Structure 1
Amino acid sequence: MTVARLYIIPAADGKSAEMEEALVELSKVVSAADGSEGVELLRDLGNEHRFIFIEKWASEEHHARSLATLPAGSLDGVQAAAGGPPDGAYYDYLLS
């Protein structure tokens, strides 16, 4: 059963391009993790500083294990461009 881990991530003023680049790089790391079923990245059309990062996982446990094995520095670019903490939650797919 695929689960989604969805993050709403704000970029700091003037850091949207840096956030986009950092999230693209992070998507490569996440996509290569055991149990990952892919990543989607979206930017709000009405607010260029707001991104949605959707990770698809085989299970919540796969996501939790991946956090423990992230390569050092994987989140540095995202943290440097962030305009605040991300809002994140798990979601079940009801229809896809």
Structure 2
Amino acid sequence: MTVARHYIMHAKEGMDAALETALRAIADAVRPLPGCEGAELLRDIGNERRFVLIERWVDIDAHKAAAGSLDKGVLAPMMAALDGPPDGIYLDYLIR
């Protein structure tokens, strides 16, 4: 059962390029982790400061286990560019 971990993030004013770079690095770091089936990064066409990161995992437990093995240094640039905490949810695929 593949699940999606969906995050919506907003960049601080003037930090959209920095957040994009940081999220690209996170997606690259997440893809090879055990249980990850891919990661996508999108930007809101109407709001260049809003980004969506979608990770695909074999299940929720795989995502939670991988979080512990992710290099925390890769998260620091994202945290510095964020305007508030990410909004994250798990989603089931109904049609794919």
- Shorter-chain TM range is over 0.9
Aligned residue for 2:75?
A: 75
**Counterpart of 1:73 in 2: which secondary structure?**
helix
Aligned residue for 2:55?
A: 55
Per-residue deviation, 1:71: 1.2
**Counterpart of 2:5 in 1: which secondary structure?**
strand
Distance in 1 of aligned mates of 2:61 and 2:37: 13
Instruction: State the 4+ residue runs in structure 1 displaced beyond 4 angstroms.
Output: none
Distance in 1 of aligned mates of 2:43 and 2:49: 8
TM-score when normalising by structure 2? 0.98
Distance in 1 of aligned mates of 2:72 and 2:9: 20
**Counterpart of 1:84 in 2: which secondary structure?**
coil
Distance in 1 of aligned mates of 2:45 and 2:72: 32
Instruction: Name the amino acid aligned to 1:44.
Output: D
Unmatched runs of 5 consecutive residues or more in structure 1: none
Per-residue deviation, 1:72: 3.0
**Counterpart of 2:34 in 1: which secondary structure?**
coil
Unmatched runs of 5 consecutive residues or more in structure 2: none
Aligned residue for 1:11?
A: 11
Aligned residue for 1:38?
A: 38
Alignment RMSD, CA only?
Answer: 0.6
Same amino acid, percent of matched pairs: 47
The farther-off stretch of 10-19 and 67-76 is 67-76
Distance in 2 of aligned mates of 1:28 and 1:42: 14
